[in-house]
């Protein structure tokens, strides 16, 4: 499996060394954060408090607003993790499309390395990059929550969350590889990433108020 290791390392280095690819892979995440800070966060909190008020009875409005703000921040972090799992893995998988466009993949085909190992090199590279980016995002989110005075995740919940992130990123890595098999142009792949990056926020329920879901 040493061939898989070196292929995975090579694909990860291609992603890391190309600064524009790293930036655009997290562009959707930056858009989500900007929208939440400027517009959606306040709208979702107000909408959630109004929804609680509909149940009637004596309610502590201040406490509801605090709990709503905490829930929206958790909702945002979950959405960012979902966005990263898609955009980062697909961006790394773009190395395969680039190899095919520039005919480098033909050189791999004539080597003693099997196509299964070649495929694993692309999939594992996108999985490691996506998983790593999600872990960095999770750590940054936890640090932000700590500064805001919110409690951190319990250790058992944190372990479960990391497991779900690992499974989620691997799923999208495999799906991204499958999708890349049918794309033979770097420009087509870039355009498809733009569309997917735009839609993934809606698919993850980030841009919609919680009461609308």
pLDDT in tens, the chain (213 residues): 788 888 899 988 888 887 776 776 677 667 776 766 666 666 677 777 777 777 665 677 677 777 777 887 788 888 888 888 998 899 899 888 888 888 888 888 888 888 888 899 999 999 999 999 899 888 888 888 888 788 888 899 999 999 999 999 999 999 999 999 998 888 888 888 888 877 887 777 777 766 666
What is the rounded distance in angstroms from the CA atom of residue 205 to the CA atom of residue 14? 32
Q: What per-residue confidence (pLDDT) applies to 174?
A: 95
Q: Which tokens sit at 165?
A: 């992130």
| CA dist., res. 213 & res. 209, Å (int) | 7
The reply to whether 212 falls in a domain is no
Structural domain boundaries, residue 170:
2-204
- Identify which of 28, 131, 118 has the alpha carbon closest to the alpha carbon of residue 80: 28
In a domain, residue 75? The reply is: yes
Residue-wise pLDDT for 145-192, tens only, equals 888 788 888 899 999 999 999 999 999 999 999 999 998 888 888 888
- 198 in a structural domain: yes
Degrees (nearest 5) of the Cα angle 39, 49, 83?
45
Cα 203 to Cα 76: distance, rounded to the nearest angstrom = 14
Q: In this structure, is residue 213 part of a structural domain?
A: no
Per-residue pLDDT, 210: 67
Q: Helical H runs in the chain?
A: 2-17, 19-25, 27-35, 41-53, 61-101, 104-109, 115-147, 155-180, 186-203
Domain contains 22:
yes
Residue 211 falls inside a structural domain: no
Instruction: Look up tokens 């960012």; give the residue.
Output: 80
- Using CA of residue 103, residue 108, residue 114, residue 118, what is the dihedral sign? negative
In a domain, 209, yes or no: no
In a domain, 164, yes or no: yes
pLDDT value at position 36? 66
Mean of pLDDT over the chain: 82
Tokens at 106, concatenated: 């033909």
Instruction: Please tell me the pTM assigned to this model.
Output: 0.84
Residue 14 makes CB contacts below 8 A (sequence gap 6+) with 95
Q: What is the pLDDT of residue 57?
A: 59
Number of domains forming the structure of the chain: 1
**Tokens for 122?**
């692309």
State the virtual CA torsion across 107, 185, 12, 19 in degrees, nearest 10: 130
């Amino acid at each position: 499996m040493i061939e898989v290791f070196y292929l995975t390392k090579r694909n990860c280095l291609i992603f890391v060394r190309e600064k524009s690819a790293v930036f655009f892979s997290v562009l959707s995440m930056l858009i989500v954060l900007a929208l939440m800070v400027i517009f959606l966060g306040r709208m979702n909190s107000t909408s959630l408090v109004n929804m609680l008020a509909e149940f009637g009875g004596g309610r502590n409005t201040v406490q509801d607003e605090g709990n709503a703000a905490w829930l929206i921040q958790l909702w945002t972090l979950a959405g960012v993790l979902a966005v990263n799992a898609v955009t980062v893995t697909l961006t790394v998988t773009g190395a395969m499309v680039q190899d095919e466009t520039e005919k480098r993949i033909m050189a791999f085909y004539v080597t003693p390395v099997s196509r299964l190992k070649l495929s694993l090199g692309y999939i594992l590279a996108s999985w490691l990059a996506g998983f790593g980016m999600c872990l960095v995002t999770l750590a940054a989110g936890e640090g932000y929550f700590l500064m805001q005075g919110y409690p951190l995740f319990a250790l058992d919940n944190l372990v479960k969350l990391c497991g779900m992130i690992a499974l989620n990123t691997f799923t999208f890595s495999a799906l991204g590889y499958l999708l890349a098999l049918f794309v033979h142009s770097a420009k087509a792949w870039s355009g498809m990433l733009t569309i997917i990056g735009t839609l993934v926020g809606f698919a993850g329920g980030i841009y919609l108020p919680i009461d609308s879901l």
